């Protein structure tokens, strides 16, 4: 039964991505395109037996903000798109922009692509993302940057927190529970089950440095996640002089 379910869930995913891309092509406004893609994401999760529950939507600031969350599965982007209001855009690695069909869809819903490899590209993309935050856009980051089979929370890159501090917009930590179990690294199809998006209270960014915001958000996420702190485990031991 698992291969049958896997084929069903992947075929349905590809079909709905195609539908979302067609809607993104014909709908004239960014708000409509984001709303239709949110509906597609929620439909796919429901049809494959992934029951999404969102806690803390009332904690989102009424205006713009930067939201950061743990990253453990390819489901994370779908969960965020399904669970958050349509006003949020996503900050994604630049490689995704060249993916057939999906790259087009991501561009049409206002995603921001960032270069992870070229120093000049990173600087240029960081300035563009900071400008978006300063203009009042709400952005979603996965500050770990990537995920693998190792369970735990990795170090956070600084970009999201620079955007929050320079844009003077609230920083919102969030935790995705259950995505790693439903679709672990290297798995081709998800397992049905519950997934929960937990939104935590916003952190004011005024007068705070990016590294201070990063440490505060990471501590809150780590406390709610229930997984090891990989940054601590990877740190070299202190040696007496």
241 is a domain residue: no
Domain CATH for 146: 3.40.1130
Position 123 scores a pLDDT of 66
129 is a domain residue: yes
For residue 64, pLDDT beyond 60? yes
153 is a domain residue: yes
Are the CB atoms for 102 and 96 separated by under 8 Å?
yes
69 is a domain residue: yes
Question: Quick check: helix, strand or coil at residue 23?
Answer: helix
Are the CB atoms for 9 and 48 separated by under 8 Å?
yes
Domain that holds residue 51: 2-232
The pTM score is: 0.90
62 is a domain residue: yes
Task: Please provide the average confidence, as pLDDT, over all residues in the chain.
Answer: 89
Q: Name the domain count of the chain.
A: 1
240 is a domain residue: no
pLDDT digits (tens, 9 = 90+) for 75-130: 999 999 999 999 999 998 878 888 889 999 999 999 988 876 655 555 676 677 77
pLDDT digits (tens, 9 = 90+) for 155-185: 999 989 998 998 889 999 999 999 999 999 8
34 is a domain residue: yes
Sheet of 171-177, strand order:
50-55, 193-199, 171-177, 66-69, 138-141, 88-93, 112-114
120 is a domain residue: yes
Distance, in Å, from the CA atom of 132 to the CA atom of 125, rounded to the nearest integer, reads: 11
């Amino acid at each position: 039964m698992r291969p049958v379910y896997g084929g069903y869930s992947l075929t349905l995913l590809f079909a709905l991505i195609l539908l979302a891309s067609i809607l993104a092509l014909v709908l004239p406004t960014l708000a409509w395109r984001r709303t239709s893609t949110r509906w597609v994401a929620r439909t796919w999760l429901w049809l494959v037996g992934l029951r999404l529950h969102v806690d803390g939507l009332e904690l989102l600031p009424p205006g713009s903000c930067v939201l950061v969350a743990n990253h453990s599965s390819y489901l994370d982007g779908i969960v965020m798109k399904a669970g958050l209001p349509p006003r949020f855009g996503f900050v994604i690695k630049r490689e995704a922009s060249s993916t057939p069909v999906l790259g087009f869809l991501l561009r049409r819903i206002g995603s921001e692509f960032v270069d992870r490899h070229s120093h000049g590209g990173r600087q240029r993309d960081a300035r563009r993302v900071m400008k978006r935050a300063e203009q009042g856009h709400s952005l979603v980051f996965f500050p770990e940057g990537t995920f693998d089979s190792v369970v735990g929370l990795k170090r956070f890159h600084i970009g999201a927190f620079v955007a929050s501090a320079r844009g003077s917009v609230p920083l919102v930590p969030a935790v995705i529970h259950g995505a790693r179990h439903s679709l672990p690294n290297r798995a081709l199809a998800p397992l049905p089950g519950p997934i929960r998006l937990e939104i935590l209270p916003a952190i004011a960014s005024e007068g705070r440095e990016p590294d201070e915001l990063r440490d505060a958000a990471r501590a809150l996420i780590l406390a709610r996640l229930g997984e090891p702190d990989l940054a601590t485990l990877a740190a070299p031991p202190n040696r007496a002089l």
